[in-house]
Amino acid sequence: MKTRELGHTGQQVSALGLGCMSMASGYAYGPSDAHEAVATLHRALDLGVTLWDTADVYGFGANEELLRQVLVPNRSSVFLATKFGFVTDGRGGATVDVRPERIARACEASLQRLGIDTIDLYYAHRIDPAVPVEEMVGAMAALVQAGKVRFLGLSEASATSLRRAQATHPIAALQSEYSMFTRDVEAEILPACRELGVSLVPFSPLGRGLLTNPGPQLAAQDLRRSMPRFGEEVGDANAPLVAGLHQLAAEKGVTTAQLALSWLLAQDAGIIPIPGTKRRKYLEENAAAAEIVLSATDLRRLEQLLTAHPVVGARYGEGALKLVNR
């Protein structure tokens, strides 16, 4: 697996990471097999996919506990990223709480669930408009000083918030949704990351499955049921784009997922996607994308296709969209 530098930290991580959100059974994308999830983590180590991404809200702590099984005996081989900030109400709803007094408690709880002494990359999962960015990052910086955290990151933050955070303490990474289906970050966020030397870490780089499976059958508890892009009213509106991607991938001799990931890697050397999976076969497919080189002609044809078929449907519902810092 090729590597890329995380921001300007000097730390090398795998060019493609592993999003672990779906590994906790029943959370986000339907049922999960814990044995297969653990086997997927071991296979990630074999393949050199060493950047693992989780959060305290994934599975309400169960995701971090699952990772612990493989993380602890292989600690030196894993660059572990987790997030704090969401508070759930137990009924499927969530609010954001990044008050300084809560951050230290959240960190300690994650460390205990993960079974480690230090988190490699600690993200604020969302920006709370009620808490100044400087106060939040100042509390996060205190964790670095205490040796609890190595590097700091933000998730779904605006370019303005990123600049305010960077002025308080160095930010290594900004995580945001970015794929052929979601390109909002190209306007302001990606340029700000380049300017500040911050890695952009795209989550859902395969459009939450729409790039590879435009009409997925969703389980009752699947998070995507709340997303307009997966609603019945959208129908087959995005099918021409997906069909075009399938065709270009076939011509290239790669899968559509690999084409989408290699396209992202080609956008900037500071981009480190974290495709999520809970199965070995998809992990292996995704990891192979790091070796694919797209020519100028490939990139031009892809851009023409994306321009010809604008994506239909918002990426979040109204409630979730309000939590995105814009």
pLDDT in tens, the chain (326 residues): 999 999 999 999 999 999 999 898 656 666 778 999 999 999 999 999 999 999 999 988 999 999 999 999 999 999 999 999 988 766 556 789 999 999 999 999 999 999 999 999 999 999 999 999 999 999 999 999 999 999 999 999 999 999 999 999 999 999 999 999 899 999 999 999 999 999 999 999 998 767 776 556 666 566 665 666 766 666 577 778 888 999 999 999 999 999 999 999 999 999 999 999 999 999 999 999 999 999 999 999 999 999 998 887 666 656 565 666 66
Percent of the chain whose pLDDT exceeds 90 = 74
In a domain, 214, yes or no: no
In a domain, 254, yes or no: no
Question: Could you tell me the CA-to-CA distances from 197 to 8, 172, 173, 185, 192 in Å, in that order?
Answer: 6, 8, 9, 16, 8
The C-alpha atoms of residue 178 and residue 209 are separated, in whole angstroms, by: 13
- The torsion defined by the Cα of 280, 282, 283 and 289, in degrees rounded to 10, comes to 150
pLDDT computed for residue 30 by the predictor: 66
The C-alpha atoms of residue 71 and residue 66 are separated, in whole angstroms, by: 9
pLDDT computed for residue 241 by the predictor: 86
Q: Is 58 a catalytic residue?
A: yes
- Residue-range definition of the domain harbouring residue 87: 3-208+265-291
Q: What are phi and psi for residue 310, nearest 5 degrees?
A: -60, 140
DSSP 8-state secondary structure symbol assigned to residue 218: P
Q: Hey, which residues does 86 pair with through a beta bridge? A: 96
pLDDT computed for residue 29 by the predictor: 67
Contact 63/27 with Cβ under 8 angstroms? Answer: yes
Q: What are phi and psi for residue 188, nearest 5 degrees?
A: -130, -40
The C-alpha atoms of residue 237 and residue 244 are separated, in whole angstroms, by: 13
In a domain, 95, yes or no: yes
pLDDT computed for residue 236 by the predictor: 74
Query: Residue 137: which residues within 8 A CB-CB, separation 6 or more?
Result: 124, 152, 164, 165, 168, 169, 171
Count how many domains the chain has.
Answer: 1
Residue tagged 């959208």 (tokens): 234
CATH value at residue 200: 3.20.20.100
In a domain, 287, yes or no: yes
pLDDT computed for residue 321 by the predictor: 57
End-to-end CA distance of the chain: 34
Contact 104/139 with Cβ under 8 angstroms? Answer: yes
In a domain, 51, yes or no: yes
Number of H helices, E strands in the chain: 11, 11
Q: What are phi and psi for residue 148, nearest 5 degrees?
A: -80, -25
The C-alpha atoms of residue 326 and residue 314 are separated, in whole angstroms, by: 15
Contact 280/37 with Cβ under 8 angstroms? Answer: no
Residue tagged 């910086």 (tokens): 141
Question: Could you tell me the CA-to-CA distances from 54 to 19, 81, 124, 157, 165 in Å, in that order?
Answer: 7, 6, 12, 18, 22
The DSSP element (H or E) to which 39 belongs, if any, is helix 34-47
In a domain, 63, yes or no: yes
For 153-170, write each residue's pLDDT tens digit. 999 999 999 999 999 999
In a domain, 258, yes or no: no
Handedness of CA 104, 107, 111, 113 (dihedral sign): positive
Catalytic option among 27, 29, 58, 123: 58
In a domain, 234, yes or no: no
Contact 156/181 with Cβ under 8 angstroms? Answer: no
